[in-house]
Structure 1
Amino acid sequence: MRLTAQQIQAIKTIVREQAGADATVRLFGSRLDDAAKGGDVDLLVEVPYAVQSPAVLAARIAGRVSRMMGGRKVDVVLAAPNLLRLPIHDVARREGTLL
């Protein structure tokens, strides 16, 4: 995994601040490959409650994580009971690592 312990802690803190204490976050995609270089940060954020403004929540998390990582591109996939479940959710759950 190409994240430092400090980055992992900061991501978890940002997700909890924005999505609540019950939210979980998984890293998936190219950042899991220690041999790769560069790449964006792909995060699956799961919340156990309905989200009223999912685009706003995802954008807030992505923006804060991006700033913390010096402008690195961050993609946030949001999972909540009221949101459509897509194949990317299954891939992120299966291949991702819980932070």
Structure 2
Amino acid sequence: MVSAVKSCFGPQANVKLFGSRTDDQAKGGDIDLLITTDIHDVNDIVRAEMRCQVKLQQLLGEQKIDMLIDYPSRQNYPAIFSIAERAGLPL
């Protein structure tokens, strides 16, 4: 997963898994990823996210994958970002 994310968002990208998939006792659920990238342009970020969704679907099969993207010019941080940052497991 990490190599797929880095191929889309750049080699400096960091990935954290958060949500129900971090709990071995929980069954199923979607895959929640917090991705930190140094890409600045929002259009490039959207394209990278779409490429990454395709790559991860090819790698993992049909899965619901939610991505939170943190980038240098981001100005709005919903509460889920702090939860993901605090509770996420680095991949």
Q: TM-score range by the shorter chain?
A: 0.7 to 0.9
Can you list the C-alpha shifts for 1:23-78, whole angstroms capped at 9, x where unaligned? 00000000001011111100010013413323332222122212211101111110
- Mapped to 2, the partners of 1:56 and 1:48 lie a distance apart of 14
Q: Percent identity?
A: 33
Segments of 5+ residues of structure 1 without an aligned counterpart are 1-10
CA distance in 2 between counterparts of 1:96 and 1:77 reads 12
Q: RCO (CA 8 Å, sep 6+): is it higher in 1 or 2?
A: 2
TM value normalised by structure 1: 0.81
- What is the identity, as a one-letter code, of the residue corresponding to 2:65? V
RMSD: 1.3
Q: Distance in 1 between matches of 2:86 and 2:41?
A: 23
Name segments (4+ residues, structure 1) moved above 6 Å. Answer: none
Aligned residues: 89
**Corresponding residue of 2:54:** 63
Give the TM-score of the pair, scaled to structure 2. 0.87
Q: Which runs of 5+ in 2 are unaligned?
A: none
CA drift of 1:86 comes to 2.0
